[in-house]
Chain A
């Protein structure tokens, strides 16, 4: 998966990937995995097709009005996603001045030129966690979501979560 996004970010159609040998996924998903011979020594290698998302959707703790974004805490694959996607949509706990990026330029995980939209959305990761802003799952809302899926009532869950937010 990560190599598929890497191939997307590098602008190449596929990428060799180690570690897929022995997995049925290679045979079951030929549209995503293919085996080819290395042009260098003829050894077989599994390749994964590039993924180029239309948008990466990333929630961050801090962004400026131009789309420079800082992720405090683990970045997961979000930096890679922003490079693989055609454009990125940022939702942010708060909008900060660009001086925050100038203070510590290496910490600008997502730079402005990859970004199309910035939405100030405090609590945007709820009912999940957003370190260090809110550190536990909102269990009442989590339970309410699981119940809404079973009952086919996701629209009313969305209505409740988004009240006054749009």
Chain B
């Protein structure tokens, strides 16, 4: 087994334009939140994301218009945390966001 520990910055550098990312967790639960925020600080674009119940981590990538397509069953923050604001802004208003919904 090879050691794979790296910094947040090094790991975020692995993400390249146009990649499809499966974003773990569920709504506000166990999302890779800080990782996706680190990705928002890079000039990466054209990302696509997928997950059965996408939440806040995927939402960041729509808020910054870096992601343009989401494959999902549910996309929101859930309960008191409400709707996913970045996704809605991108898909309903001024962004390139596109929903590919599947149950």
Contacts and interface: CB of A to CB of B under 8 A. Distances in A.
A16 interface: no
Interface in A89-112: 89, 91, 95, 112
B57 interface: yes
A59 B56 contact: no
A85 B20 CA distance: 9
Nearest to A32: B100
Interface of A: 1-2, 4-5, 17, 19-20, 23, 25, 29, 31-33, 48, 51-60, 65-67, 71, 73-74, 76-78, 81, 84-85, 89, 91, 95, 112, 115-121, 123-131, 137, 142, 145-146, 148-150, 154-155, 157-158, 161-162, 165-166
Interface of B: 1-11, 14-16, 19-38, 40-41, 50-53, 55-57, 60, 63-64, 71-73, 77, 80-82, 85-86, 89, 100-103
Contacts of B77: 142
B4 A81 contact: no
Contacts of B72: 1
Contact of B25 (A29, A67, A125, A142): A125
Contact of B71 (A4, A66, A129): A4
A148 to B, nearest CB: 8
